[in-house]
Structure 1
Amino acid sequence: MGKIVVSEFMDEGAVVSLEDRFEVVFDPGLVEDRRALLAAVADAEGIIVRNRTRVDAELLAAAPRLKVVGRLGVGLDNIDLAACEARGVAVKPAHGGNGSSVAEYVLTGALMLRRQAYFASVAMLAGEWPRQALIGHEVAGCTLGLVGYGAIARETAKRARALDMTVAAYDPHLLADAPEWAGVTRHERLDTLIASADVVSLHVPLTEATRHLIDAAALTRMKPDAVLINAARGGTVDEAALAEVLRQGRLAGAMLDVFEKEPLPAGSVFEGVPNLIVTPHIAGVTEESNARISEMTAHNVMGVLTRTAEVHQ
C-alpha cells in the first residue's frame, strides 16, 4: 500500500476516499514544521499541498520514492517544476476547481470598494451619520480590467457582464483571434488597460515577468477613483507603492488576498492604510470549492499512483 502525505488542509471526505486504497498521513500542521514534513515524506509516493508547502530540491531529496505532487489549487510557484520533472515526479494542479469562488471574491471586492459604504461601521456605532460622504459608485456601466485572461478571469468576466459591467482584458499569451475574446475589449498593452479601467483585477501567476507588474508607475496610470483587486499571487503588486498611493488618496481602494510574505506579518507596510481590505489567501477557498478541489486532487493523485503500480506489476 503506497503512502500519501497531506501537509495542508483538505476536505475530510476526500481524505477518506484516499484512505480506502493508501496509507494516508493527514496533518495540516506539517506545513509549519519543516523537519517533521521531511521525515513524513521519507517513504511517501505522493504528497498533497496547497500554496505554503515548498516542494523544492530539499523535499524531493528527502522523498526518494515520490511519484506525484497533488496541488489543492492551481498556482505552482511553491513547487520546483524543473526539479520535479528531472526526478520524474508528476505535478497535478486542480484546474477549474475554484474558479467560481475567486470570481465571486473579485466581484464582492468590486461592489464593496466602488460603493465605499462598508468602512463606516466604527463611525456609525460611535453615533456619526456620514451619509453624504458615503455616496459611492455603482459597478453597472463601469469597466472591469482583467490582467490575464485565463479560466478564472473568464469566470469573473461572465459574472461581471451579468452586473452590466464592461469587461476589458490584457493577456499577451492569448492569441488575438482566440474565441475567448468574444464580448471582451482586448488591450494589447497593460498600460492602456489600467488607465481605462474602473476596477483592475489581477489573474496572473508569479514569474520574473510579473513580479511587481503593478508598480508605482502602473499605479500612477490608474484612475484616482479606480480600485485594485489582487486574488492571484503575492509579489505581482509592489506593496510599498500601493500603500503609499492609498495613503495619499490617489486610488479609491484595494482588496488584497495574497502577499509577498505569507502570513502577512504584524507591522507590515499596510498597517493603518485607508480604504484597504485584506484577507488571508482565501479567495479560492469556500466550503464548496474545497470539496471540489479536494476531490479532484485525490482523483489526480490516485490516478498517477494506480497507473504507476500497474506499470510495475
Structure 2
Amino acid sequence: MTAPRVLVSDKLSPTAVQVFKDRGIDVDYQPDLGKDKDALLAAIGDYDGLAIRSATKATEKLLGAASRLKVIGRAGIGVDNVDVPAATARGIIVMNTPFGNSITTAEHAIAMMFAVARQIPAADASTQAGKWEKNRFMGVEITGKTLGIIGCGNIGSIVAERAIGLRMKVVAFDPFLSDERAIQLGVDKVDLDELLRRADFITLHTPLTDNTRNIIDAAAIAKMKKGVRVINCARGGLVVEEDLAAGIKDGKVAGAGFDVFVTEPAESSPLFGLPNVVCTPHLGASTTEAQENVAVQVAEQMS
C-alpha cells in the first residue's frame, strides 16, 4: 500500500513537515503554490491531504479537481478560506487548530490596549522625528479601569485573566459563558447593554456570525461611556468602521486598536489617519510560537 500524499501549499514550519514524515506520510512542501490558483488546480488531483494557512483558497472549483482528497487541514482558527459545504458534500474532512493561536492573539489585544491607552505609535513617530511633545501625548492608566470583553471563549478568557492580573475590573458578554465559568475567571457576566455602559475599554473576541456582525454600530456606540477605547483583534465586520470613525471624530470614543478589517488586505479604512487609532495587518496569530504550534497541531491531526 502506498503512503498517503499530503501537499503543503502555504508556508508551514519545518517541524510540521517533519511530523508528516515521522508518521510515514509522503509530504510535498510547496509553500508558494497556494498563491498560484492555476498551478494548484493542476496539481491537486495527486494528493490525499492538503495543509494550508491563509493564502490557499480551497474553492468549489479546486475541490472539484481534488479527486483523491480526503482531508484539508488549516493551521489557524477560522476556515474562512475553505468552502466547507463543498468539501463536506465530497466527503472531505476539514480541520483547523482553534487553540494554537489563543495566547498570541490575547497578548496582541492587551498590547493594543496599552498602545491606545498611551498613544505609543504616534508618540514614537513624533519622538523619532526629533519632536519632544510631552504635552501632546497624555495617556490614561488601565489599573482600576473596567474592561468589557465581548466573547469570553478561548481567547477572551485569556484576555480576562491577563486583565485581572493588570488590576482591571472585567465584565463579559457571552451567551455561552456559564455562571460557574464566569465565577472561576473572576469576571462579571453581564448583558451587552450593561457592558457598553460600564466599560472604559472594550475588546472583541467572538467569531463573525449573523448574531455578531456589526455588533458595534452607531446605536452601540451611543450607549458607551465618553472616552471609551475599542480594541478588535478578532474579525473584521464585528464593528461598523464608519460608525466608529464618526465616534472618534465627535469625541465620544477616545481611541481604537484594530488588527482586523472588513476588507483585507486593507488598503483603506474609515479608521485610517484618525487620531489615536492604532492599526496592524492581522498580526493576531503572528508569533513564532503560535505559527509553530498551529503547524505542528494540524500536521498531527491530519496524520
- TM-score of the superposed pair, with normalisation by structure 2: 0.90
Structure 1 residues 156-165 or 45-54, which shifts more?
A: 45-54
Q: 1:40 to 1:191 in 2, by over 3 A?
A: farther
Secondary structure in 2 aligned to 1:53?
Answer: coil
Q: Which amino acid aligns with 2:166?
A: L
Q: Write out per-residue CA displacement over residues 281-307 of structure 1, whole angstroms, 9 at most, x where no aligned residue.
A: 1112211111111111110111xxxxx
Q: Distance in 1 between matches of 2:55 and 2:282?
A: 10
In the alignment, what sits opposite 2:171? 168
2:277 matched residue in structure 1: 276
Retained in 1: the 8 A contact 2:19–2:300? no
1:151 aligns with 2:151: no
| CA displacement 1:128-176 (0-9 Å, x = unmatched) | 432233231111111111111111111111111111111111111334x
The one-letter code matched in structure 2 to 1:228 is V
The offset of 1:180, in angstroms, is 4.4
Match of 1:294 in 2: 295
Q: CA RMSD in A?
A: 2.0
Call closer, same or farther: CA 1:253–1:31 in 2, change over 3 Å: farther
Work out the CA distance in 2 between the residues paired with 1:216 and 1:152: 26
C-alpha separation between the residues in 1 aligned to 2:31 and 2:250?
Answer: 41
Would the aligned equivalents of 2:201 and 2:229 in 1 still touch at CA under 8 Å?
Answer: yes
Match of 2:135 in 1: 132
Structure 2 equivalent of residue 220 of structure 1: 222
Which segments of 5 or more consecutive residues in structure 2 lack a partner in the other structure? Answer: none
* Consecutive unaligned residues in structure 1, runs of 5 or more: 303-313
From 76, 83, 104, the counterpart of 2:86: 83
Structure 1 residues 268 and 109 mapped into 2: Cα distance closer, same or farther (>3 Å)?
A: closer
- What amino acid is aligned across from residue 48 of structure 2 in structure 1? E
Please say which of residues 97-106 and 216-225 is displaced more in the overlay.
216-225
User: Which one-letter code corresponds to 1:289 in the other structure?
Assistant: A
Per-residue CA deviation, residues 99-135 of structure 1 (Å, 9 max, x unaligned), is 1111111111111211234412333344443223323
CA contact (8 A) 1:5 1:40 kept: no
Count of residue pairs brought into register by the alignment: 299
Tell me, in whole angstroms, the C-alpha distance in 2 between the residues paired with 1:217 and 1:138: 27
Q: Hey, what's the Cα distance between the residues in 2 that align with 1:165 and 1:6?
A: 43
Q: Which amino acid aligns with 2:194?
A: T
Moved over 4 A (4+): none
**Which piece of structure 1 moves more, 27-36 or 293-302?**
27-36
2:286: which partner in 1?
Answer: 285
| Superposition deviation, residue 247 in structure 1 | 3.4
**TM-score, length-scaled by structure 1:** 0.87
SS at match of 2:300: helix
Identity of aligned residues (%): 39
Is it true that 1:203 corresponds to 2:205 in the alignment? yes
Is the Cα–Cα contact under 8 Å of residues 117 and 136 in structure 1 kept in the other structure? no
Q: Give yes or no for contact 1:117–1:135 (8 Å, CA) kept in 2.
A: no
Aligned to 2:62: 59
Letter in 2 for 1:213: I
Partner of 1:16: 18
CA distance in 2, matches of 1:78, 1:205: 15
Partner of 1:257: 259
Q: 2:294 and 2:117 mapped to 1: Cα distance?
A: 31
Aligned to 1:116, which of 109, 114, 119? 119
Question: Following the alignment from structure 1 to structure 2, what is the Cα–Cα distance between the partners of residues 210 and 28?
Answer: 34
SS of residue matched to 1:134: coil
